[in-house]
């Protein structure tokens, strides 16, 4: 990770560490704008996951997608830097969730975190980082030959002013305005990423705000 992204990642960690209640209200209890898209993505995800799957959710938060696939998975490894969110997930899904607390960018080259995993899930994670840092992550995970599922933010009419990664203003739980890095993906950016790493890409869901796509190796 370059120095700029390292600095920005600390902003993200600090924001979410202090945002547990707000995060729960806006994501787990649904944001009105994205309520239906979240359900559609959950249904799509459920249709994609084979029975008995073992999933590594990178930057998992409170594991919001597990409710849609809990009956189909054997193990859900939740990797996140926010221990409060991991504790919430463990309390709700103790039979399914295996927590892993840490910073993924400090362990991307550690093969032990990917052991006995079929699917890598990246949910609203890549949109906080630059092209350079995303490529760095993919250089480590693509050789593993795992299915990669990405759920993230699409560029839409409300954010057309964005050009790659920019700082956006968000209100924290103390009602203070803070800035965190955020980007909104274009479909051609996903196609370009797949092409660069010789991956197949299947855009399974494309909504107004969010998308779900699947990357596979060697297709």
- Domains, in order of start, for the chain: 3-217 (3.40.50.150)
Q: Is the pTM of this model over 0.75?
A: yes
CB 108 within 8 A of CB 137: yes
pLDDT in tens, 76-94: 999 988 888 888 888 888 8
Q: How distant, in Å, are the alpha carbons of 151, 159, 208 from that of 58? A: 11, 25, 24
Strand pairing category for 119-123 and 53-58: parallel
User: Please, which pLDDT band fits residue 72 given cuts at 50, 70 and 90?
Assistant: very high
Residue 202 has pLDDT above 60, yes or no: yes
Least confident of 63-67, 85-89, 149-153: 85-89
> And the tokens for 88?
């919430």
How far apart are alpha carbons 140 and 197 in whole angstroms? 11
**What is the average per-residue pLDDT within 191-198?**
95
User: Sign (positive/negative) of CA torsion 194, 197, 199, 205?
Assistant: negative
pLDDT in tens, 164-191: 677 777 666 667 777 777 888 988 999 9
**What is the average per-residue pLDDT within 123-149?**
90
Residue 208 has pLDDT above 70, yes or no: yes
How far apart are alpha carbons 202 and 216 in whole angstroms? 9
pLDDT in tens, 105-116: 777 778 788 888
């Amino acid at each position: 990770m370059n120095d700029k992204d390292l600095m920005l990642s600390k902003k993200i960690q600090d924001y979410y560490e202090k945002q547990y209640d707000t995060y729960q209200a806006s994501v787990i209890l649904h944001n009105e704008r994205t309520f239906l898209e979240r359900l559609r993505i959950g249904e799509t995800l459920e249709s994609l996951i084979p029975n008995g799957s073992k999933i590594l959710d990178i930057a998992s938060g409170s594991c919001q997608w597990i409710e849609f696939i809990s009956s189909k998975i054997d193990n859900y490894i939740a990797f996140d830097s926010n221990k409060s969110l991991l504790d919430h997930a463990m309390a709700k899904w103790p039979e399914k969730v295996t927590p892993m607390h840490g910073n993924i960018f400090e362990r991307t080259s550690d093969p032990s975190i990917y052991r006995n995993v079929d699917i890598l899930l990246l949910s609203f994670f890549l949109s906080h980082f630059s092209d350079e840092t995303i490529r760095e992550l993919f250089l480590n995970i693509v050789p593993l030959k795992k299915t990669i599922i990405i759920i993230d933010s699409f560029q839409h009419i409300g954010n057309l002013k964005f050009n790659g990664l920019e700082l956006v203003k968000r209100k924290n739980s103390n009602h203070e305005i803070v800035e965190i890095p955020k980007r909104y993906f274009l479909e051609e950016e996903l196609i370009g990423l797949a092409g660069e790493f010789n991956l197949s890409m299947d855009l399974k869901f494309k909504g107004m705000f969010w998308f779900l796509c699947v990357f596979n190796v060697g297709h």
